[in-house]
Copies of this chain bind each other. A is one copy, B any other.
Amino acid sequence: MKDIILRKAQKEDVIEILNFVKKLALFEKAPHAVSATVEDYFENGFNENPLFFCNLIYYQKHLAGFSLWYYRFSTWKGKRLYLEDLYVNEEFRGLGLGKILLDECKEEAKRSKCTGMMWQVLDWNKPAIEFYKKYGASFDSEWINVNLQLK
């Protein structure tokens, strides 16, 4: 495992993070949905009271993937870690990097006194669903996401 390094992202990493986000959006068939800018990431993630957190993972010194999360309050379940994004570049898949990123989020959720974790998966993304099942996650497809754009 000495070839694998996991570290917290810094302000200097925002361009790389946004590159990952765009690759993931392309995989999720929504390449044009990304309107957030480098400034949005700077302002919201890298101040005294950050709205989100991000880990980067390296394999043999190559940047290979990332996870991005924040905290939510479920009126049903209390404090939850929400995994907004998890992505590993295609050429680094099958090496267990996704598992390392997800496991680290799970530990982070425990350290920050969350009662659990949440995330979303696309209904057609069967490999991801199978991966999450191994963690004992539960799935609920009854809810529709609603979005209201304000600017």
CB distance from A79 to the nearest CB of B (A): 5
Q: What is the count of identical protomers in the complex?
A: 2
| Size bin of chain A's contact surface | 35 or more
CB distance from A30 to the nearest CB of B (A): 7
Q: With A116-B150, A118-B148, A137-B146 known to touch, is A79 a contact of B51 (CB < 8 Å)?
A: yes
Grouping DSSP codes into helix (H, G, I), strand (E, B) and loop, the A interface class, with mixed when no group exceeds half, is: mixed
Measured in the bound complex, the distance between the Cα atoms of B28 and A140 in whole Å is 13
Measured in the bound complex, the distance between the Cα atoms of B78 and A35 in whole Å is 8
* Residues 39 to 61 of chain A near chain B (Cβ within 8 Å): 40, 43-45, 49, 51-52
* Residues 64 to 100 of chain A near chain B (Cβ within 8 Å): 68, 70-79, 82, 84-85
Query: Residues of A at under 8 Å CB distance from B?
Result: 21, 24-25, 30, 33-37, 40, 43-45, 49, 51-52, 68, 70-79, 82, 84-85, 106, 109-110, 114-124, 129, 132, 135-151
